[in-house]
Amino acid sequence: MTIGELLDAAKRKLGSLGAVARQFGFEQSRLSAWRSGTRKPDAGEIMMLAEMAGLPPFETLAKIEQELDEKHQSVWARALGNLRAAGVAATVILGLVIYSMTPKTASAAVTNFVTPSPASAAPHQESRAGSVEIMSN
3-class secondary structure per residue, the chain: CCHHHHHHHHHHHHCCHHHHHHHHCCCHHHHHHHHHCCCCCCHHHHHHHHHHHCCCHHHHHHHHHHHHCHHHHHHHHHHHHHHHHHHHHHHHHHHHHHHHHCCCHHHHHHHCCCCCCCCCCCCCCCCCCCCCCCCCC
Q: Is the pLDDT of residue 9 over 80?
A: yes
Q: What is the pLDDT of residue 51?
A: 93
Q: Is the pLDDT of residue 3 over 80?
A: yes
How far, in Å, CA of 99 to CA of 109, rounded? Answer: 18
If you average pLDDT over residues 36-44, what whole number do you get?
A: 89
Q: What is the pLDDT of residue 62?
A: 78
If you average pLDDT over residues 7-30, what whole number do you get?
A: 95
Q: What is the pLDDT of residue 66?
A: 74
Q: What is the pLDDT of residue 75?
A: 63
If you average pLDDT over residues 102-108, what whole number do you get?
A: 57
User: Average per-residue pLDDT in the chain?
Assistant: 75
